[in-house]
Structure 1
Amino acid sequence: EVLERLTWSGTDGTVVAADKDSPLHLIALDGLATGACEPRATIDLYPGYRCDVLVKAPAQTGEYFLAAAAPSAKTALRKRNVGAPAKYLVKVVVAGPPHEMRLPDASDHLDRCRPFKDVAAAKAEKSRSIEFFLDDGNKVYKINDQSFSQQTDPAEIRPALGTTELWTLRVKSGEFIKPDLHPFHVHVNPFQVVIIRARKKDGTWVDVSQLAADPDQRPWLDLLGKWKDTLVVDSNHEVTVGMRFADWAGRTVLHCHILDHEDQGMMRVVDILQANGQPLRPIGLQPADSPAPAVRLTDVRGRPCDLAAAGDGRPAVLVFFRGFGCVHCTRQLRVLARETATRLPEKGAVLLAVTDQPIGSPTAALKELGIPDGIEFRLFEDPKGVAFKRYGCLDPDPRHGLFVIDPAGRVRFRYLGDRPLDDAEAVVEAVREFLPTRARRRD
């Protein structure tokens, strides 16, 4: 008997099949026990899918194989892969004297291994629609009619702890004969598949349980009641999943698990509220008192600078950001520049911004930020991450950081986090502590 965990990291779907003498027995999906030991001739896998299977070795010695077949025309995410040859994944060598082991069955109370109680759909507090849209020719990748960078409210999905929601997953693009498929993935919270509706050729929609005689619907029927965190949805099916929010408040994301779709906009922020309906505020600007690390960089205008002494007798705000491709970073810098320019004395502080990403055109970058008059602003590239590392903004990947440095070159406030600090008011108030008394207020 062999336990195998299959994790599919390819860019397309596949069908995994074992040797006919040693069928697969499914016991878990996405790390979540199914509560049964289900024999399967094949298992469909898509990007991000994981499954645990038991394989009972056959009685005859020899070599046996686990193979991944190419996707069919109906299940391929990328049509160019249809008809590709099968690939062998695992070779199992059966040798030596037999050692009989039985597979688990209902007498082993496998149902006790199910991770959660079933979702009571009728008691759900809220229903939502999550709709994928793809226009590959024009490079349009959206969820709920917006790409990630277009979101004016990046956390419009705000469930609260202690609640249950029903999310209906749809694909807006695609044809009946050539459906679009997208693997839906949500971080932190697994979900239970509670309803699946299938589109018939005449355009009507029916519960998939009414199509049990259709072999094409078998994979969908097998999903009902299962717990997962990644689920492929196509334009011929609507899948309603139950989401129970019980443990973790704070921000997370949902996205398409085809990574180039995610990178080009198929992602949404989910802000799980506390039980009182209030968002979990990230740790903000924290007091500190340590020498600012001396790091010499050259700004985009060719001027060398020691970051610790850049204030030249004035307080400085030093921001580490992830480049102009991050809409939230550029928004943070734009707001900081506006607030420090309008609420502090003219050139009373210096604003420094360091990115680990190439800037390209400095003129275009500065224009995008819209730096107002009345503030000294300097922009730096740090491609090797030297300054990021010295200021503690590598963990091990670059993180967002903000430091308020006093006129004597000491860090007096700091912030480190996985997203930009969005509290410009706190930054302005921190800087004011290090201005001459008569020059502290401009607003």
Structure 2
Amino acid sequence: MEPTADAASYAGNANPAGGVKRLSVNPLKISQTVGGTLALQGVYHAMPILHGAQGCAAFTKALMTRHYREPVALQTSALQEFNVIFGGEASLFEALDTIRAKHNPDVTVVLSTALTDVSGEDIRGELNLYRKRHDMGGKLLSCAMLPDFQGSLESGYARTIEALLEDVLTGANHPKKKIRNRVNLLPGAHLTPGDVMELKEIISSFGLEVIALPDISTSLAGHLLTGHTPLSRGGVPLDLLKQAAASEWTIAVGQSMEGAAKLLEKHAEIPYKLFKGVTGLDATDDFFAFLQRIGSEPVSVKYRWQREFLMDAMLDAHFVYGGKKIALALEADHLGVLEGWFREMGARPDIRVAAARPHSGGKLSPGTLIGDLGDLEDLSADGVDLWVSNSHGEQGAHRLGVPFVPCGFPIFDRFGAGLTVSVGYRGTTEWMNQIGNQLLAAERRNHA
């Protein structure tokens, strides 16, 4: 279990993230394998293989399908007890043979689980042996080590992208010459398909070509296609993924994506710019200022108007946000983004629980607890004005009589989770109005 804080450690003012919690009452953390599976939905004709028990894949697929309400590409090696004892190589090779024969994916990524990591299976060595025995025909076969007892959805997502880039960039076929006005976009796990689409549109408006990795905006945003395929139905194609090495810049959104950006810098000599988030006036201004510096077009009138709308909306809503006490429980990147935005609005995001330690060297702000939704409920018992977490936290918010806003993953009891936008000027305005309406409704109930 990820190290968290015990009850005594957050009684004082010190950062509580150093203690150890031995029981998760209402879990917040989502498995790394879910994050790895999510990342691969943004790669065209990809197939993730969970190398572990069949139930691991079933749970992951059910959780993602409930959130996105879209088909999810996923297979499993379906290990049994004797496979773990004598080694899972035969089961993995059988799964690879079957999937390649039936579905012929462009990208196949084996995701480890706690079962295979604890048993000490050498998955990388097994895949090297498989490549020697089979002609891959230009297809990519990779692996990411994602044990359930470490990290969370965010780190699993980031590590999978890092594994893909490592294999692509160390190959002999990626281009060396840079293409003018082409940029790579590395969107963090906290961004929705709607967010990724918004960021792509903003970047493109500056005359820049965008390669997004992963690109869940074309796979999980919702579209109707004739026929059925068990592979991912959208995302960045393998040939375009290889072209990422020819970009002039990399834009990483989310601290957890800095590791992937550093790989592009190391292997392809591409400079990168890291944005912790693009939600809020200051953060979006910084994003646009950078794009204006590297792009070939000025800021369009459309976005100038959107900025005016956001500033007017902030003026309208500041009285309802000011001084409000907010409780947040999210993945580390998402938590940092919303904490900063709430402070920009004059609110007090004083109660903060992260699912796990940040990936890629990121840091939590002082006073943030690494814990679960039970911790958030305990810390909110003295009174808060708003509770923000995934759908698993709604019952806790209702027990306290606190307004609840679903955010993060999973959201399984509302439509449109994948289409919500909270980035850029337009997305920030929409998000601010959604939260503001919740706060206004609570004030009416309190005065009734």
TM range (shorter): under 0.3
Which entry has the higher C-alpha Rg, 1 or 2?
Answer: 1
